[in-house]
Amino acid sequence: MQDDLFGVPLVPDMPPVPPDPAAKKAARRTHRADAADAADGDAAQPSAPTPPRRRGIQPAPGLDVWSPLAAKLPPGLRLGTSSWSYPGWKGLVWEGEHSQPMLSQSGLPVYAQHPLMRTVSIDRGFYRPLTASQYERYAAQVPDDFRFVVKAPSLVTDALVRSEDGQGRQPNSAFLDPQLATQEFVQPALDGLGHKTGALVFQLSPLPLHELGRLHDVLERLRAMLLMQPALQPTAPDGVLAVEVRDAQWLAPDVMPHFADVLRETGATYCLGLHPKLPPLQEQLPLLRLLWPGPMVCRWNLHPIHGAYGYEDAEKHYAPYDRIHHPDPKTHTLLARTIAGVTGRGQNTYVTISNHAEGCAPLTVRTLAEHIAALRPAA
């Protein structure tokens, strides 16, 4: 493997980062878009036949202009957003004005018609496990080549039971429970999504101080949980289990090799988390190197300008998510180089982007796609 596969030379050392002072999870909020589990709800047929009205939600005019760009992207790359039900995406994803509930119920089939959107992150299951039938309804609304990124329920990924305001109230006895992870997440997702299963992400919430002090023990519990999960490939050839973290200590020099060993043995991968709680992208890439060769999963969550607990600030500044507010060209450049290196060796890559990354997820997807296409050799 060439040294520049992931865009930067290996960073040999990373000083430990002190633990987060607050256990409060201000980032925990419903991603309003993924409330959809109903069938398409078309508007009523207009009474006047002339001129005819377009029923329901329709794709934004002129989306075909992005088909040539989509054709230049690596076939193993799937770009998308974190959920889909934002009225501010008028003219970018759909035509006309639609309410958030309407988009939640009926927007996914339209979203999936966008030439650049080949995946989406379903975050709603983090708050309450979804059933196989709910997953099946999602799968029925997208093309055959579409793949889903899904977050595991906090029931098994949070070491604490939390109140509505995010405060940890007591230890969670189900944390990293192998049986619950299977029956409440992996198996229903496989049964419902089938071959459209992409990345099943265990996003581990910020750990309490006593757990951070014994990360090697937590890693062994993680190993046991991952080893107990059913194999994805018989049902989902493109499926992969991924682990995302929210504490920088997971990437410390004395922990990273152990983390990589757990992921290698269990056939899982690391999910690059672009979030202010974690080191920047270039300091996460060494872990990806330790897992090479293998697929890549990345979730671009929150612009660092807002800080580790800045979701409310991002929402205040970015809503209705119809334009870019804080461009991040450095991340675009490095992420594009990393994607080009991974897909260039034939590995699948899933990248989902939040509105909180730069202000408008579809526009961030478009810019990243342009960066990636520029790195590919001409046909």
pLDDT of residue 162: 85
**In the chain, where are the structural domains located?**
59-375
| Residues with Cβ within 8 Å of residue 199, at least 6 apart in sequence | 147, 149, 150, 239, 240, 241, 242, 271, 295, 297, 350
CA–CA distance, 173 with 21 (Å, rounded to integer): 23
Both structure tokens of 350: 């899933």
**Which pTM value belongs to this model?**
0.87
Least confident of 24-28, 132-136, 188-192, 317-321: 24-28
Q: Which residues pair with 265 in a beta bridge?
A: none
* SS3 category, 130: coil
Q: Which of 178, 258, 267 lies closest to 215 in space, CA to CA?
A: 258
| Residues with Cβ within 8 Å of residue 119, at least 6 apart in sequence | 78, 79, 80, 146, 147, 148, 149, 198, 350, 351, 352
Instruction: Give the pLDDT confidence of 89-111 residue by residue, as tens digits.
Output: 999 999 999 999 999 999 999 99
Least confident of 115-119, 167-171, 208-212: 167-171
Q: Is the pLDDT of residue 296 over 50?
A: yes
Per-residue confidence band for 28, with pLDDT thresholds at 50, 70 and 90: very low
Return the higher-pLDDT residue of 15 and 219.
Answer: 219
The CB density around residue 171, as the number of other CB atoms within 10 Å, is: 13
Give the DSSP H/E element, type plus range, for residue 77.
strand 77-82
CATH of domain 59-375: 3.20.20.410
Percent of the chain with pLDDT over 70: 84
